[in-house]
């Protein structure tokens, strides 16, 4: 077919018209200006698990308070096997750290039909109207954990009446 369009300038238009629109050949000069941009910033993101148990060691801009770093000292964790069952015992200091981190966490169970995470989060935000944001975590068997940053918000949720979402009870 090239001998029919030779030196007329129509060769490129005919070949271009025969190629499907989704497939185009790149210029023969190379593809200038199509360099891939790679973000080389090293930002560590905090996982939901770390946020929930309070192991975030820096302020992340989402209203989380800065947590102090702690290290495990020798003898604070005692591992043993009793009657073939592994046993782990913690020192009083570790118990206090665990209690302090779980002090403002409530367990939620939605009775009735299933509800999605984001729908539940939006609904409880509008019902509870917390003074500071809280973190909602979906755990197994349709249970959720809500970790409050403020003791007053946690007490308000626990002490106020029954919470009903879409005609179903939200047990706390």
pLDDT value, residue 60: 42
Residue 137's DSSP bridge partners are: 145
Helix (H, G, I), strand (E, B) or coil at 165: strand
Q: In whole angstroms, give the CA distance from residue 11 to residue 69.
A: 71
Correct CATH for 104-172 of 3.30.565.10, 3.30.300.30, 3.40.50.2000, 3.30.70.330: 3.30.70.330
- Token duo for residue 13: 């238009």
* pLDDT value at residue 58: 43
Domain locations along the chain: 104-172
Q: Which residues pair with 171 in a beta bridge?
A: 109
Q: Which two tokens stand for residue 85?
A: 């069952």
Of 62-71, 107-116, 144-153, 156-165, the poorest mean pLDDT is in 62-71
Q: pLDDT value at position 65?
A: 44
- 171 has pLDDT over 50: yes
pLDDT digits (tens, 9 = 90+) for 52-107: 666 544 444 343 444 556 677 788 888 889 899 999 888 888 888 888 888 889 98
**DSSP-H helix ranges across 19-150:** 48-53, 92-102, 117-128
């Amino acid at each position: 077919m090239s001998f029919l369009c030779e030196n007329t300038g129509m060769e490129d238009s005919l070949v271009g018209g025969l190629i499907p629109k989704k497939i185009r050949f790149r210029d023969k000069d190379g593809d200038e200006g199509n360099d891939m941009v790679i973000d080389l910033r090293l930002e560590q993101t905090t996982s939901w698990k770390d946020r929930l148990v309070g192991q975030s060691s820096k302020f992340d801009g989402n209203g989380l308070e800065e947590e102090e770093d702690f290290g495990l000292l020798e003898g604070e964790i005692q591992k043993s096997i009793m009657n073939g069952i592994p046993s782990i015992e913690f020192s009083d200091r570790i118990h206090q750290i665990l209690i302090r981190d779980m002090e403002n966490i409530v367990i939620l169970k939605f009775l009735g039909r299933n509800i999605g995470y984001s729908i539940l989060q939006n609904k409880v935000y509008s019902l509870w109207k917390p003074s500071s944001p809280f973190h909602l975590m979906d755990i197994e068997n349709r249970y959720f954990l809500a970790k409050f940053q403020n003791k007053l918000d946690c007490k308000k949720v626990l002490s106020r009446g029954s919470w009903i979402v879409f005609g179903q009870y939200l047990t706390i």
